[in-house]
A and B are shown apart, each in its own frame.
Chain A
Amino acid sequence: MIAIGIIFFGALVLLFAGINKEEARLKTLASVIFGLGGFAIWAESKNIINTDQLFAWVPSGMIAFNPTAQVISAILAFMAMIVVNLMPAVNRKGMDIVGLMMFSVCGGILMVGAQHLVVLFLGIEILSIPLFVLAGSEKDSLFGNEASLKYFLMGAFSTAIFLLGAAFLYGGTGTLYFHEMLLRTSFSEHFGEFPVLVKAGLILVSVGLLFKVSAVPFHFWSPDVYEGSPNRIAAFMAIIVKIAGFAAFAQLLSSFAPMQGWYSTWMLPISIITVLAGNIAALVQNSYKRMLAYSSISHAGYLLLFLFQPIQENFQVLGIYLLSYGLGTAILFYLFDKYAKSEDKSVNIFTGLAFSNRLDALALIVATFTVAGIPSTIGFIAKYQLFTSAFTSAPWGVFIGLLGSAISISYYFKPFRVMFKTESDSQPSIQFSWSNACLLILIASILALGLFPVVLNWIF
């Protein structure tokens, strides 16, 4: 809650403060707001501060953060801070883009803490509506227009499906609170049969959320939208929507835990198809950005493998995976944005990178290792924990997941083939800049968390 308050009021201040200023000048203020919000909610999860009194007016039980949900909210805020700091600002006046990003993060945090269907719905909408605008923030680009319109139509469509499911769940259980839904479903488990309204509602609500996290039968919009939107917004969408969507999905499914045997029968095929189709489609992509989009689809598949089992006890495995995914993806989008200046968007943009810019080359290697799950990075720890905890309920799913990771190596490592070719005779020059400092911090944290996973226990 405290993070939503800080980021929301911070966004208002920022919008007014930045009316006539260049975006780059207020970057520091924006990252202070994100950092403060993220730190506050993390401190709350560690009982360093307590803000229950401050938010006593919130109807009890509608929004509730358990400690892991608080850490995931903090990850959301810090990821937004990383995206704002790492990627270059647009060259025009006004802070509207960063302001909209902040409102979007507020919606994401609301989704993570939602314990009531109305709050979950509002969270999804507050997350999405700013993103429709952001995707089209380059108003003159036809690709941006297409991305924005496509994202809007798909988002509104999936919202409608989600809402029909929510209405069915309300009709089937008679409540909108997640904890009461858990009671009702355990009750009907006792009688042996689940009401058909609840089953239909759960399917429709899941379809709505699967659209948002771009799982495979509902993924067709995401590569186009990522490719058409500006790079910064694409990175933001890939990271924030996925973190918030999966945290909310996990909370929702865990309130239908007694039906687990039933919903895993259709969740398992979806996750297997997502892993395979995402990885195989990424293999044949020419554009590096489209490849990143398909790789994020395959990550959604690994996460779905984990979702359909009892989650309460190892909710933090989800948090660790989302953290590693976010760190790696942010760096890869930054490097793509930096080097894709011409028409060529394939991996050839990285030709000779190892000689022209050592820091960026190191960042590319580390980030690729972490999204591919190579040991010594946090990506390995995350994937290992995810697969070991999914193994008990879905051994075949884990097997497909490992196969998918093996396929993914071949497209993730494509840049390495051209990276060490000397083509440019430009002098290696690394001057200090704010983005380089951020990049160093990110590389250090990926390696530190991978080599000393004990730190994760301290974070979560």
Chain B
Amino acid sequence: MLSIFHSLEISHYIYLSTVLFSIGLFGVLFRRNAIILLMCIELMLNAVNLLLAAFTEYMGDMQANGQMFVFFIMVVAAAEAAVGLAIIVMVYRNTRKTDVSFLDQLKD
């Protein structure tokens, strides 16, 4: 298992997670549905998780600090998703849609 990990260079993991992160980033910037935006943010967080796990493995960090960080990110992402979905439900009750195009009323 370990040998599979090390047969790739760390730079591949950095490129992969940067690409995943960018997909999420562009999704947040260009999609219009609030639930898809939430999914894109989760994708960004998971790209970071992959990167942290890979760094921990490659640096031989005995305390596995990076992998501990991954668990914290997963917990916080779950909390964030819970609050975010609640907010989207609240918006849906008032406007009957989950589209972010409604976010333009507060311009004077």
Binding site for B on A (CB under 8 A): 117-118, 121-122, 125, 129, 132-133, 136, 139-140, 142-143, 145-150, 152-153, 156-157, 159-161, 163-164, 166-168, 170-171, 174-176, 223-224, 227-228, 285-287, 290
Give Cα A369 to B39, complex, Å: 46
Q: Which residues of B contact A174 (CB under 8 A)?
A: 59, 61
A129 touches B45 (CB 8 A): no
B106 touches A143 (CB 8 A): yes
Which residues of chain B from 31 to 62 have any CB-CB distance to chain A below 8 Å in the complex?
34, 37-38, 41, 44-45, 47-48, 51-52, 55, 59, 61
Contact string against A for B residues 81-105, beta-carbon threshold 8 Å, 1 for contact and 0 otherwise:
0011011101100110000101101
Give Cα A163 to B86, complex, Å: 24
Give Cα A176 to B100, complex, Å: 36
Q: Which residues of A contact B61 (CB under 8 A)?
A: 174
Give Cα A184 to B21, complex, Å: 27
Which of A149, A161, A175, A223 sits near B103, CB closer than 8 Å? A149
Known: A145-B94, A163-B73, A171-B55. A176 touches B65 (CB 8 A): yes
B90 touches A139 (CB 8 A): yes
Q: A164-B44, A170-B55, A290-B108 are in contact. List 9 more A-B contacts (CB 8 A).
A: A133-B87, A143-B105, A146-B106, A167-B17, A170-B66, A224-B103, A224-B106, A224-B107, A287-B108
Closest 5 CB pairs of A and B: A160-B44, A224-B106, A171-B55, A163-B48, A167-B51
Give the interface SS of chain B, mostly helix, strand, loop or mixed. helix
Give the interface SS of chain A, mostly helix, strand, loop or mixed. helix
Between A and B, 6 residue pairs with Cβ closer than 8 Å are A129-B80, A142-B94, A149-B103, A161-B44, A163-B73, A227-B106
Binding site for A on B (CB under 8 A): 10, 14, 17, 21, 24-25, 28, 34, 37-38, 41, 44-45, 47-48, 51-52, 55, 59, 61, 65-66, 68-69, 72-73, 76, 79-80, 83-84, 86-88, 90-91, 94-95, 100, 102-103, 105-108
A176 touches B69 (CB 8 A): yes
Which of A159, A170, A223 sits near B52, CB closer than 8 Å? A170
B28 touches A157 (CB 8 A): yes
Give Cα A118 to B74, complex, Å: 12
Give Cα A427 to B95, complex, Å: 45
Which of A117, A122, A153, A285 sits near B100, CB closer than 8 Å? A153
Taking CB as reference atom, which chain B residue is nearest A287? Answer: B108
Q: Which residues of A contact B79 (CB under 8 A)?
A: 125, 129
B105 touches A146 (CB 8 A): yes
A171 touches B51 (CB 8 A): yes
Which of B25, B37, B48, B105 sits near A142, CB closer than 8 Å? B105
Q: Which residues of B contact A121 (CB under 8 A)?
A: 69, 72-73, 76
B65 touches A164 (CB 8 A): no
Instruction: Tally the A-B contacts, defined by beta carbons under 8 Å.
Output: 123
B90 touches A136 (CB 8 A): yes
Give Cα A168 to B68, complex, Å: 16
Q: Which residues of B contact A145 (CB under 8 A)?
A: 87, 90-91, 94-95
Known: A118-B68, A149-B103, A166-B69. A160 touches B90 (CB 8 A): no
B65 touches A152 (CB 8 A): no
Q: Distance in Å from the Cβ of A166 to the closest Cβ of chain B?
A: 7
Q: Which residues of A contact B47 (CB under 8 A)?
A: 164
Give Cα A174 to B62, complex, Å: 11
Taking CB as reference atom, which chain B residue is nearest A157? Answer: B28
A150 touches B103 (CB 8 A): yes
Which of A132, A166, A175, A228 sits near B106, CB closer than 8 Å? A228
Which of B25, B69, B108 sits near A117, CB closer than 8 Å? B69
Taking CB as reference atom, which chain B residue is nearest A290? Answer: B108
Give Cα A46 to B103, complex, Å: 48
A125 touches B102 (CB 8 A): no
Q: Distance in Å from the Cβ of B56 to the closest Cβ of chain A?
A: 8
Q: Which residues of B contact A146 (CB under 8 A)?
A: 91, 102-103, 105-106
Known: A167-B52, A171-B51. A136 touches B65 (CB 8 A): no
